Structure 1
């Protein structure tokens, strides 16, 4: 996929297919819905996303959040002219999950010219908060 053509109208099945051969595909992260300033995704709780004792790994939750915030920022800028780079992530894990999937909602809370700040809430299937994560992305002008 040519990410310079990425925009809010890009079908989620195309996005999911383009990300299969990366960390995103390895963790089986699935983009469910995109909108202006909002991204929804899911991730299974399985052997690839858990600690050895079967509990969802906090690092998997952080990877899910950074994926969503990065994609969200990419949808808000002209990717032919700019690149998006995650520069800070801070997460608080408030619960644990052993089975099923987790569901994440990313919402932009600051959309500046040089930085975007996103809040990502991850819940279990019942809607109980598992993690809340803040991601800051830097918007970098591409050279030539």
Structure 2
């Protein structure tokens, strides 16, 4: 897999005209068992108190977790859908860049469980998210 080409395709084609574009989410790394993406913290993702909105954080986390699930299955035979997401927000962020890293807790035949850590520019954990996805066979 040509990682640079894959990142370019995801960021400029797959994410085109989606929530990921609106929130300026950019996938910056893809590995065998992880995906990393960033999102700027600015007025687009603020809650009324001028802090990063938890929903924007969850959207970032679901993006990396779902993508991680997608890249770990044969997409010609299967498709992936989200089942459940939970988030614990531990710290607030006013500006800068947040980085989300998805790593597997469990990758079974039909369900995947991902841990997503969202950190601020200083590497502080701001949210800890768990995402469950389901892997379903495509109908022929």
1:16 aligns with 2:42: no
User: Secondary structure of the residue that 2:43 maps to in structure 1?
Assistant: coil
Alignment of 1:14-93 (within 5 A): 14-18=9-13, 19-93=15-89
Two-structure CA RMSD over aligned residues (Å): 1.3
Would the aligned equivalents of 1:8 and 1:35 in 2 still touch at CA under 8 Å?
no
Unaligned runs of 5+ in 1: 1-6
* Per-residue Cα deviation, 1:21-79 (whole angstroms, up to 9, x for no partner): 10111110000100011001100111221102210000011111111011001101111
* Per-residue Cα deviation, 1:3-35 (whole angstroms, up to 9, x for no partner): xxxx78552111100203101111100001000
CA distance in 2, matches of 1:113, 1:69: 16
2:134 paired residue number:
138
* Per-residue Cα deviation, 1:71-128 (whole angstroms, up to 9, x for no partner): 0011011111111000000000000000111011110110100001100000110011
- The TM-score, its normalising length taken from structure 2, stands at 0.94
Unaligned runs of 5+ in 2: none
